[in-house]
Chains A and B, each alone.
Chain A
Amino acid sequence: AQSVTQPDIHITVSEGASLELRCNYSYGATPYLFWYVQSPGQGLQLLLKYFSGDTLVQGIKGFEAEFKRSQSSFNLRKPSVHWSDAAEYFCAVDSGYSSASKIIFGSGTRLSIRP
């Protein structure tokens, strides 16, 4: 069965520092991959997605992610974080759209920003 692992429960970085959030997936074929952000008490906002093609994906708010098939990873990066980036980040995988597929979420990584 497909699964998503986010090994870091909580990360704290200084404002202006670079960020990398880890995500590993388990799936037999190439899945569709997503990163979502959730502010406290809010819904989900899609940051970026990978379906196929270029393995380096650009998203909103200056985020990017790189799909590495050999490592089954889809890590999220940002070169310089802002205080407003503090939130919960979820990596997710979808098995595809040939049928009624479903998105499976990782456990999430909470990002705190140090002033």
Chain B
Amino acid sequence: GAVVSQHPSWVICKSGTSVKIECRSLDFQATTMFWYRQFPKQSLMLMATSNEGSKATYEQGVEKDKFLINHASLTLSTLTVTSAHPEDSSFYICSAWGGGGTEAFFGQGTRLTVV
């Protein structure tokens, strides 16, 4: 299957700082990328959907000013957690979809810990 690379795989940051997570489709062009959040022992919750070159669509209850999503190219989307707080500590996973009759492929996830 296609490869989606997520970086970093884990990050620790101080409260109040911002953290950027990258999601890259390595061998295909991603028409759409999705960002999920997973709390311990819980399921994945969709945060937002981004299409290349346009603004992301956020799910209800997700603060767009806190979770900035940029999908500047067909192979790269970034999620920036701004002014991070301990309650933002979570596992963040991206997926990328190349369009047509294909499935979305998932990155390996990023574990964010805010101290």
Contacts and interface: CB of A to CB of B under 8 A. Distances in A.
Contact of B111 (A41, A101, A104): A41
A94 B32 contact: no
A105 B49 CA distance: 15
Given A97-B99, A107-B42, A43 B107 contact: yes
Contact of A34 (B31, B99, B103): B103
B61 interface: no
Interface string A65-81: 00000000000000000
B25 interface: no
- Categorize the interface residue count of chain A: 20 to 34
B108 A42 contact: yes
A102 B100 contact: no
A49 to B, nearest CB: 6
Contact of A103 (B34, B51, B102): B34
